[in-house]
Structures are given as structure tokens and as C-alpha cells.
Structure 1
């Protein structure tokens, strides 16, 4: 029995090596990996900005004058872009979280289904963000 195991031809194992920083621009991440990384980035950004957002909410609710003051600040285009980035982060994190919950139920784990759900997460989050951007910048 041990001779049969010894005589079996050895398959060459693929060689995986670490990626150097200079090779990062050539590395192509799959769509599901990109959605996963964006999910982590959006979650981290929301976590880190939560105290600041809550402080601004508290200050705007203090009085009518402070509300008018912060309403004036939000009218600047740069502030609107920051708000839009936060909105995209929330929407992407929510959509990707729903995707992960569905995958936790062992639905859509095949490679093609996972790729399709990752594309759906990006499409839905970007579409909803575009609709909110139109409203935020006064097109609607």
C-alpha cells in the first residue's frame, strides 16, 4: 500500500508569491473582491465619522439659528460632495451587507452568481446615490 502512494506521480503545486507594491497597478481584483474591499472602507469611514455627524446633528437641533447656520454650510458644493460620499458609503455598505447576509444563507455562492450579485450591489448603490445626488444638487 505504501509503495502505491510513493509511486504516484507528483503534481506540481502552483507557486503563489507575494505581490510587491510596484505590481499593485498590474493586479486585477475580481469584482467580488472590489465590492468586499469597498464594503470594509465604507464601514470604516462611517464608523470614524459617526461622532462628527452626531455632533453636527446635535448642534443643528439646538436652536433655529444654529439650524439656519448649518443649513447655510450645507449649501456649499464641497460640503454637498462630502455628504454625497457619506450617502454612497451608507448605501454601498447596506447593499453589500444584504448580499453578505444572503450568502450566509448559502444562496448565490457559485462563482457566476457571486459575480452577478457583486455587480448588482455596485449598480444599485451607485444608482441610488445618483438619484440622491440629483435631489441634493437641486435637479429635482
Structure 2
């Protein structure tokens, strides 16, 4: 006799998630990463304001390729979280709650995040 109440093992690498689900997961991850980066940003701000040598230390970080990559990811995370937050606010107002408009707005959020990141990187670098 087979037990039908056994838990189902879900292999997340095999599940084809819709773009709205990917956007939701990315929104949560970017929010967590921005929250966790607050102490680092505060430390760098304090260091840059402490003395001219501290300012030089912080600005010299921009010469590092790794630091530029971190800035790129942080800029994308902020832009994505911002635009996704606006999308979720509009969904709370019952704007674009059907599947077609939900999918369209999710793609717009992803595109706006990438475009904003590219513009920001051109301005920063």
C-alpha cells in the first residue's frame, strides 16, 4: 500500500518559474543585501569624512575592478528593488493584477533596472 501523504521533494533547479516569480525572489534578495550592506556603507562614509587620508583611501577603492563590480551589483540591486517596489505598490492599488499586465510590468521592471544600472555606471565611471 502506497502512502499518499508523503512530502513532495521539489527540485528548484527543474521548476520553470514565471518572470513574476523571479522578480519577487530578486526583490527579496536585493532587499536583504541592501540591509546587510548598511554597516559597510556607514563605515566607508565615516572613513571618508574622518580625514583627508580617509577620503583618499575610500576614493582609491574605485580603482579596483572588484570594487567597481560590487558597485555595479549594488546599483543594479537598488534600481531593481526601487522599480519592483513601485510595481508592488501598483499591484496593491489593483493596477495590473491580471496575468498579461503582470508579466509585462515584470519585464519592464527588469529592463528599467538594467537601463538604470548602465546609465549609472556611465555616469560614475
TM-score normalised by L of structure 2: 0.89
Structure 2: gaps spanning 5 or more residues: 1-6
Please, which of 31, 41, 45 is the counterpart of residue 43 of structure 1?
31
Q: Per the alignment, in what secondary structure is the counterpart of residue 50 of structure 2?
A: coil
Determine the structure 1 residue equivalent to 2:4: none
Determine the structure 2 residue equivalent to 1:18: 8
Deviation string, structure 1 residues 95-114 (Cα, Å, up to 9, x no partner): 00000001110110000000
Is 1:53 the counterpart of 2:55? The answer is no
Moved over 3 A (4+): none
Q: Per the alignment, in what secondary structure is the counterpart of residue 97 of structure 2?
A: coil
Q: Please tell me whether Structure 1 or Structure 2 has the larger radius of gyration of its CA atoms.
A: 1
Determine the structure 1 residue equivalent to 2:17: 29
Determine the structure 2 residue equivalent to 1:103: 91
> Aligned partners of 1:113, 1:127: CA distance in 2, in Å?
21
> Aligned partners of 2:21, 2:12: CA distance in 1, in Å?
14
Determine the structure 1 residue equivalent to 2:111: 123
Determine the structure 1 residue equivalent to 2:101: 113
- Aligned-pair CA distance for 1:19: 4.2
Structure 1: gaps spanning 5 or more residues: 1-16
TM-score normalised by L of structure 1: 0.80
Determine the structure 1 residue equivalent to 2:57: 69
- Aligned-pair CA distance for 1:135: 3.0
> Aligned partners of 1:54, 1:115: CA distance in 2, in Å?
37
Number of positions where the alignment pairs a residue of Structure 1 with one of Structure 2: 119
| Aligned alpha-carbon RMSD (Å) | 1.3
